[in-house]
Amino acid sequence: MKQNLRLLSVGFFVLIVSVMFAMTALAGDEVKITGKIVAAPADPSGTLAPIAIECKDGQYALVNNVPGKKMVQFVGSDVKVTGVVKEVDGKKVMTAWVFERQGAKKKIPQPN
């Protein structure tokens, strides 16, 4: 009985690890782009943010996730964005994970 349980748990572990590798392969590779945040036409479906990243490789539309929503207030700023890029209907669409404004002064806490 213990041997069957051990064999079952090892098989389940191998299955989980295999699924994780398959999901990362489907998700795409991490990409970092540097460019300027520009206003973009609104997407009627609401899946794309009303901004895009303009860089030397072209324009990347941004998915309307948390980083995409936070970047709206910085239109016109230079930015470095990390995420995954996919081509959707002939457009480069980026799912942003992290963004960093270039040239922005970091706030340093002042002692009281």
Residue 12 lies in a domain: no
How many domains does the chain divide into? 1
Q: Is the pLDDT of residue 5 over 60?
A: yes
The Cα 93–Cα 61 span in angstroms is: 5
Residue 35 lies in a domain: yes
pLDDT per residue as tens digits for the range 49-66: 899 999 998 999 999 888
Which pLDDT value is given to residue 110? 53
Question: Which has more pLDDT, 16 or 69?
Answer: 69
CATH of the domain at 49: 2.40.50.200
pTM for the full predicted model: 0.66
pLDDT per residue as tens digits for the range 52-111: 999 998 999 999 888 888 888 999 999 999 999 988 888 899 988 888 888 766 555 556
Which pLDDT value is given to residue 88? 85
8 Å CB contact between 8 and 16: no
Residue 93 lies in a domain: yes
Half-sphere exposure of 1 (CA within 13 A, CB side): 0
